[in-house]
Amino acid sequence: MSLELSAPPQSEPACADDGVWLECIDCGEQFAPFEEIHYTCADCDGLLEVRYADPPTFEAFEGSGVWRYNAALPFKRGVTLPEGDTPLHEVPRLREEIGVDSLRIKHEGMNPTGAFKDRGMTVGVAVAKELGVGRLACASTGNTSAALAAYGARGDMETLVLLPKGKVAAGKIAQASLHDARILEVDGNFDSCLDIVQELAGRGEVYLLNSLNPFRLEGQKTIGFEILEEHYEEYGEYPDRIVLPVGNAGNTAALYKAFRELVASGALEESEVPTLTGVQAEGAAPMVEAVRNNRDEIQRWDDVETRATAIRIGNPVNAPKALPGIYNTGGTAVAVSDDEITAAQRQLAETGVGVEPASAASVAGLRKLRASGEISADESVVCLTTGHLLKDPDEAFNAGGDPEPVPNDTDAVLEHINDSNETVAGRVAQQFSKVADSSAVPAIIGGGLGLAYLGYRVLRSDDA
């Protein structure tokens, strides 16, 4: 199966293991999946995909969560917490304000460690066990480290995570720390961390579980299956468009692969495949640059900066898989400012959906593309949000409202809340001013996710 949407099913090669094999997307070389470790093609260093002799149909799916889709995965069951089966939220006020026919929020922050990464880790750690490796490793902007640490602990495996020093949110470091991963802070950005992990993996010192590993994306493609099933159950049709944040471009590649497999099996018509639309922060937008210039490859950005830490990536390794997904579904990509991301994060929170900044990029991108007319009013849209609100307590607190001191007296409290001088507009202006003027706080590296947030609030109070 090529990267074309219309590619037919492939014949099972001799190297396949129970109908599963690895194949290079560049030269087509094929490899046995579990005899030895492969991250990229041994012949040309191209990216690998997991391929199946029997692509899945909807009728083959049963159960719940990621492993409901084991007919489209390498194993029947993996190292699980469990994960998947995340909600598809209605947001009627936001839908009306943006102006689309329907709008749903696929909230991947409701996975066990608070991010979509769990879907990839349940499969990836299972493969690591099948291969008999002893030490797991990843480079991370935070969410990957938290997921790998949790699933490594669940699988009773040693875990090593490399993080860019001073660039990872407190809640994410707290998770990796509590799950007993070894945390190495690198004096560089995410891409530097990934370079080191790849070199360690090349020397056989670690098993790499970044999304360069093709098995990671197998778990992540179940997001696409879930969106199609959930949306069809609600509306009797599939969404016209899926808008998603782009960091390493793994989800874009994974969703496109899910749709290609369903088309190959005859379960989905090409005309029913949702348009894939990627969103990046303006300070880290190599995919957007490529799409806007109609290029087939990205140019690495060495200097990247955005408060949306989860997508602060200048060299998305899955771009060769993701760009065809955008082009072949008629999609596009857009960059949004940090202020637009924060505004979208607040608007989602006002509907009861709490996400970290990178997640809100999808809604910010939808709003921008709708305003420019690139997305029409009659479209049904799903925005993917990738991480939970408490993943980044610093930005959550900055984006929210300040506590209001009141006397220890009921009448005084009543007078305060009824004070006509405190208008809604004034509160909103105050909150946006606080976002613009806020300064960073020290990262909290101990304790669980909730404790990190509570501790952070105490620090803010002490500093006031």
pLDDT in tens, 93-131: 999 999 999 999 999 999 999 999 999 999 999 999 999
- Residue 321's pLDDT is what? 97
The string of pLDDT tens digits covering residues 69-82 is 999 999 999 999 99
**208-212, 269-273, 275-279, 376-380: segment of lowest average pLDDT:** 208-212
pLDDT band at 166 (very low <50, low <70, confident <90, very high): confident
* Token pair for 282: 């303006």
Q: What pLDDT, on a 0 to 100 scale, did the predictor assign at position 394?
A: 75
Task: State yes or no: pLDDT of 459 exceeds 50.
Answer: no
Range 440-447 average pLDDT = 34
Confirm if 181 and 151 have CB atoms less than 8 A apart: no
Dihedral, 437, 443, 447, 449 alpha carbons, nearest 10 = 50
Q: Class assignment of domain 134-205?
A: alpha beta
**How high is the pLDDT of residue 433?**
52
pLDDT band at 168 (very low <50, low <70, confident <90, very high): confident
Strands, DSSP E only, in 119-272?
135-139, 158-164, 182-186, 207-208, 241-245
pLDDT at 444 over 80: no
Contact between 20 and 36 (Cβ < 8 Å) = no
CATH of domain 84-114+214-395: 3.40.50.1100
> Which residue is associated with the tokens 């990843």?
138
pTM for the predicted model, two decimal places: 0.86
Question: Is residue 434 predicted with pLDDT exceeding 80?
Answer: no
* C-beta pairs of 262-266 under 8 Å, 24+ apart in sequence: 262/55, 262/56, 262/57, 262/58, 262/225, 262/228, 263/5, 263/6, 264/1, 264/7, 264/8, 264/9, 264/55, 265/9, 265/54, 265/55, 265/56, 265/57, 266/57
In percent, the amount of the chain with pLDDT more than 90 equals 76
Q: Strand 88-90 and strand 102-107: pairing? A: antiparallel
Model confidence at 451: pLDDT above 60: no
The answer, yes or no, to whether the previous bond of 324 is cis (omega within 30 of 0) is: no
Does the pLDDT at position 455 exceed 50? no
Measured CA to CA, the distance from residue 76 to residue 439 in angstroms comes to 48
Contact yes or no for 40/212 (Cβ under 8 A): yes
Q: Rounded CA gap, 58 and 438, in Å?
A: 48
Rg of the Cα trace of the chain? 22
Give start-end residues of each CATH 3.40.50.1100 domain in the chain: 84-114+214-395, 134-205
